[in-house]
Structure 1
């Protein structure tokens, strides 16, 4: 689709995606997707709210956890800390402990979410009053741990002021439907061209739903009633290849798993010296072995750098405790 205002001598891209050239067809593509989404979509509680705090919690939780599993954790978290002020006033160790007990992935995310809450309550973002969230992706990125994707999601779903979202599912959809090259700039360009102006809330929900329900790794075009079959390059050619999807590293035995064990153990034991902590983290811990004091000190140093653990040298030994 040629951009508005293009001049005849403007070079065309060799790998331009196969978007419809007719503006009426582009509008039909948009309407088909929104109608499909609004007729029937998966029900998640964060889709029923426009509270930026509740939406931020859901976005941070879902970064590494399946959405069906996030629902219970999300409800439990908001029962514990119903408002951003409640979270800001909470003990960080309690927030980290909640994250660990609900298997929500990297504990850093709990730490950053807690710090972001403090920034909101304190009015730390320039031009935004204390207790209020920034409304734009740029402003939301000023909050601790909030990257471009999360900022855009919160701006979209809370304030309807986001840009076109581009995540793994959306890339898969755009690659298959419009033969979009596997290139971040191309994906962003096509996503922006498709999204109706001022409709980021419904549009981003709809296109992510399409990727999650109809256009997954194994496509379900007819079964899910994909609304883009009429225009879809993959459906027409029966070529459903898509960009590679990054895989998560093995969790069992990983550094991430060991970090979680340290936090859980210290949450229960208050403080422990290395040789008492080590066997509770790894059954094969031996002070001078491969998984011994040096390995455990390195792990604890990482946690200390992240602000989760405090270390104290005491009578020739190192004692660890959760940071309060």
Structure 2
């Protein structure tokens, strides 16, 4: 896609954006067991269970389900009432999903010789597998998916790159950003960003968001999004000044408090002077975002190495 028709800023360094996100994700992310497998059946079970169910509750149910029916052949041969009963016992909601999963296993065995289709279109032919789930399985099992676009991803794209609140625009921007042949890592990473750092109440600095230096919302303080209609209080907030500290230190090797303070706020001094700033940088140090060193010439602050 050319810059002329792009939904992304014309001067955006796509390679830097891509590297920043994947490196952040690979360095540290939530360790769900289905992220450690490329088995399409195990991933499909996790995706179906995760629909409208908190991921923390899904882990135990997912492991128990696979203990009971470890393969599509096992599930296809099971009594459907037993599968629905499992779903009910584990409070996974919407028992139709259990029925569809059971039928999808039967289709894999009877129509596909026990092998899963490898593309989103092929996977969409399985019972109860919609476009999102089909793409997720294609991405995470076969590294063969399209760019995922869910609520979290829309929120990230809208905030970071001011992508308009329009489904076609989100699809175009997401596709343009995803590196070729990297759907497994990329889709996991951008969903992790939306789930961990860029939730309805963002934790940009606390979560070490890798896109802060590119982000329109971080720059302007406007964190509204399609699913966040009311702008969170930001102007003059502690979070705003934490962000400024991190952003300023990104431009310097290190700064003393007296050098940093006036750069953080124009009214630096008095109640918002050295004691206030020291509390701010101590908080950032506790979060692992900055290093604070005591020297003969006073306190020096730098970004954490």
For Structure 1 versus Structure 2, the TM-score category normalised by the shorter chain is 0.7 to 0.9
Structure 1 residues 17, 235: closer, same or farther in 2, change over 3 A? farther
Whole-angstrom distance in 2 between the partners of 1:224 and 1:166: 22
Cα deviation 1:113-134 (Å, max 9, x = unaligned): 00000000002xxxxx410000
Q: Write out aligned runs for 1:287-302 (5 A).
A: none
Contact 2:200 2:227 in 1 (8 A): no
Q: Write out aligned runs for 1:156-171 (5 A).
A: 156-171=139-154
Whole-angstrom distance in 1 between the partners of 2:46 and 2:106: 18
Choose the corresponding residue for 2:182, options 188, 191, 199: 199
Contact 1:214 1:225 in 2 (8 A): yes
Choose the corresponding residue for 1:107, options 95, 112, 119: 95
Cα deviation 1:35-88 (Å, max 9, x = unaligned): 000000000000000000000000000001000110000000001001010000
Cα deviation 1:87-130 (Å, max 9, x = unaligned): 0000000000000110101000000000000000002xxxxx41
Show the counterpart of 1:175: 158
Indicate whether 1:130 and 2:113 are aligned: yes
Show the counterpart of 1:91: 79
Indicate whether 1:39 and 2:27 are aligned: yes
Contact 1:168 1:245 in 2 (8 A): no
Q: Please report the RMSD computed on the Cα atoms of aligned residues, expressed in angstroms.
A: 1.5
Indicate whether 1:150 and 2:133 are aligned: yes
For the residue of structure 2 that corresponds to 1:97, the secondary structure is helix
Choose the corresponding residue for 1:56, options 44, 56, 64: 44
Q: Write out aligned runs for 1:229-308 (5 A).
A: 229-244=212-227
Unaligned segments of structure 1, at least 5 residues: 7-11, 124-128, 247-324
Structure 1 residues 137, 18: closer, same or farther in 2, change over 3 A? closer
For the residue of structure 2 that corresponds to 1:57, the secondary structure is helix
Per the normalisation by structure 1, the TM-score is 0.69
Contact 1:20 1:26 in 2 (8 A): no
Whole-angstrom distance in 1 between the partners of 2:10 and 2:187: 20
Per the normalisation by structure 2, the TM-score is 0.73
Q: Write out aligned runs for 1:213-224 (5 A).
A: 213-224=196-207
Q: Write out aligned runs for 1:15-26 (5 A).
A: 17-21=7-11, 25-26=13-14
Contact 2:147 2:178 in 1 (8 A): yes
Whole-angstrom distance in 2 between the partners of 1:26 and 1:163: 17
Cα deviation for residue 19 of structure 1 reads: 2.8
Cα deviation for residue 17 of structure 1 reads: 3.8
Cα deviation 1:142-192 (Å, max 9, x = unaligned): 000000000000000000000000001000000000001111100000000
Indicate whether 1:139 and 2:127 are aligned: no
Contact 2:34 2:46 in 1 (8 A): yes
Whole-angstrom distance in 2 between the partners of 1:105 and 1:179: 35
Q: Write out aligned runs for 1:60-79 (5 A).
A: 60-79=48-67
Whole-angstrom distance in 2 between the partners of 1:19 and 1:114: 45
Structure 1 residues 20, 31: closer, same or farther in 2, change over 3 A? farther
After the TM superposition, which segments of 4 or more aligned residues of structure 1 sit over 2 Å from their partners?
16-22
